[in-house]
Amino acid sequence: EKGGFRSFMDKEIHDQPQAITDTLLGRTDLQGRLQLDDLRIDESVLRAVDKIIVIACGTAAYAGHVAKYAIEHWCRIPVEVELAHEFRYRDPIVNEKTLVVAVSQSGETMDTLMAVRHAREQGAKVLSIVNTHGSTIPRESDAVLYTHAGPEVAVASTKAFLSQITAAYLLGLYLAQLRGNKFPDEIREVLSDLREMPAKIQEVIDRADHVRQVAESMADTTSVLFLGRHVGYPVAMEGALKLKELAYIHAEGFAAGELKHGPIALIEEGQPVFVVVPSPRGRDSLHSKVVSNIQEIRARGARTLVIAEDGDDAVVPYADEIFRIPVSSTLLTPLLAVVPLQIFACELATAKGLDVDQPRNLAKSVTVE
Ligand code: F6R
């Protein structure tokens, strides 16, 4: 069943290009306009939405966090992302104009399900982004957008994460289209960029040897930090989560801009730090700010493991290792940048002799609160 791979996780990392292809499949009409027929929610309801709250747990919540940047940019609707177990207990402000987006691979996560029920009781519309057909969360939602990642067996989520981002992006583009977004060309462009992602993800997977070698050399590591900014921030959080759950190594993700507000105190000689570098072609000089961060931590002894776009030479003087990803538009980079981090966690855990498909203390779907 593992199709020749050492583990389900390894297989599912390799399934990612197909998972994205399948999640995109059949969702545009002949004119290239998005068509989310399976959504079963009235267009007028979606046009009236004035706030979106994404609820999810763990990796699915990081997918929501990535999507927030994109949906706010395309739709100009405020998007909050909240852990499902926190949402429910804090008296959230929701009404009929709130669209609650529940993201879940299994569709059975009890924390997320309880938050869905709570949101509906408060009058919100709930749209779920779910991978497992016939599961409980879509049954209890007003609308559903399925990810088509195929069954995910390994406990640690990989291909579901990429397809959750993809589906949430489709939702964002669809809302933008419905609401007469002022940049129809941009929507078309993003859709065509999305279609190029499977091939680019495959390129990252094909470059896995370097990550594997570095991971194998780090089997004795006790702490790894992850930094990212903008959409790279949730990617850093996800990289840290993967390493914790698979390799049982203390790992923490930070927003790179937060470094000087505290976390930089953790940097000492030899501390490994992954840095997800924004595209040099992106806006707001984020790239140079993150390059400065790399310089700062390196000067304090950090071992810098840098994820950077092909051709980004500015990082070279400050990087101990560089993991290259193909050039893509800023909002799509998480689909590429997370892949070396998944492979790193998987390989490091394997090097430690651990079972990557069944990490200790974890279950694939958490059906208790
Ligand atoms: C991490 C992981 C978990 C799940 C979380 C939500 O690798 O798998 O953090 O993402 O438990 O699960 P779903 O998506 O099934 O609701």
- For the chain, the straight-line distance linking the first and the last C-alpha, in angstroms and rounded, comes to 31
Nearest CA owner, ligand 1 atom 10: 59
In whole angstroms, give the CA distance from residue 69 to residue 318: 28
Question: Which is the closest atom of ligand 1 to the Cα of 58?
Answer: 9
User: Ligand 1 centroid vs 61 CA: distance in angstroms?
Assistant: 8
Share above pLDDT 90 across residues of the chain, in percent, rounded to a whole number? 84
Question: Residue-wise over 360-369: b if at least 16 C-beta within 10 A, else e?
Answer: eeeebeeeee
Task: Find out whether 333 and 232 touch, Cβ atoms under 8 Å.
Answer: yes
Question: Which stretch of DSSP H or E encloses residue 33?
Answer: none
Mutate to test the pocket of ligand 1, among 57, 81, 87 (most ligand atoms within 8 A of CB): 57
- Pocket, ligand 1, Cβ cutoff 6 A: 57-60, 104-106, 109, 112, 156-157, 241, 245, 365-366
User: What's the CA-to-centroid distance between 269 and ligand 1, angstroms?
Assistant: 34
164 CA distance to ligand 1 middle (Å): 11
Alpha carbon distance 197, 203 (integer Å): 10
Tell me how far apart the alpha carbons of residues 228 and 236 are, in angstroms, rounded to a whole number: 5
Classify each residue of 248-262 as buried b or exposed e, where b means 16 or more C-beta atoms within 10 Å of its C-beta.
Answer: ebebbbbbbbebeee
What pLDDT score does 282 carry?
Answer: 76
Check whether 64 has a pLDDT greater than 90: yes
With both helix axes pointing from N to C terminus, report the angle between 334-351 and 184-206 in degrees, rounded to the nearest 10. 20
CA angle 157/161/163 to nearest 5° reads 130
Q: Residue 133: which pLDDT band, with cuts at 50, 70 and 90?
A: very high
CB under 8 Å to 118, separation ≥6 — which residues?
A: 87, 88, 92
Q: What is the average pLDDT score of the chain? A: 94
Q: How many other C-beta atoms lie within 10 A of the C-beta of residue 205? A: 18
Among protein residues, the one with the nearest Cα to ligand 1's atom 5 is 58
Q: Whose CA is nearest to atom 7 of ligand 1?
A: 156
**Of residues 211, 288, 282, 213, the one with CA closest to residue 257:** 288
At 181, the pLDDT band (50, 70, 90 cuts) reads low
pLDDT over 80 at 39, yes or no: no
Strand 143-146 with 98-104, pairing: unpaired
**For residue 106, which atom of ligand 1 is closest to its CA?**
15
User: How many angstroms separate the alpha carbon of residue 161 from the centre of ligand 1?
Assistant: 9
For atom 9 of ligand 1, which residue has the closest CA? 58
Which residues, listed in sequence order, are joined to residue 145 by a DSSP beta bridge?
129
Which tops the pLDDT comparison, 186 or 12? Answer: 12
Ligand 1 atom closest to 364 (CA): 8
CA distance 357 to 63: 21
265-311: pLDDT as tens digits: 999 999 999 999 999 987 778 999 999 999 999 999 999 999 999 99
Query: Cα 31 from chain centroid?
Result: 29
Candidate from 104, 105, 140 with most ligand 1 atoms within 8 A of CB, to mutate: 105
Phi, psi of 51 (to 5 degrees): -160, 140
Q: Which atom of ligand 1 has the smallest separation from the CA of 155?
A: 8
Do 340 and 204 contact (CB within 8 A), yes or no?
yes
Choosing from 12, 109, 235, 368 the residue with most ligand 1 atoms within 8 A of its CB, the one to mutate for a pocket test is 109
* Lookup result for tokens 């079963």: 40
Residue position matching structure tokens 């998972």: 19
196 pLDDT more than 80: yes
Cα of 210 from ligand 1 centre, angstroms: 28
SS3 10: helix
Q: d(Cα 82, Cα 144) in Å, to the nearest integer?
A: 19
Q: Taking Cα atoms as reference points, which of 28, 5, 276, 292 lies closest to residue 154?
A: 5
Q: What is the pLDDT of residues 163-177, one digit of tens each?
A: 999 999 999 999 998
pLDDT(40) > 80: no
Question: pTM of whole model > 0.90?
Answer: yes
| 133 Cα: distance to centroid of ligand 1 (angstroms) | 16
56/86 Cα distance (integer angstroms): 10
Find the 53 Cα to ligand 1 centroid distance in Å: 18
Using the atom order of ligand 1, give the atom closest to the CA of residue 137: 16
Q: Active-site residue numbers?
A: 364
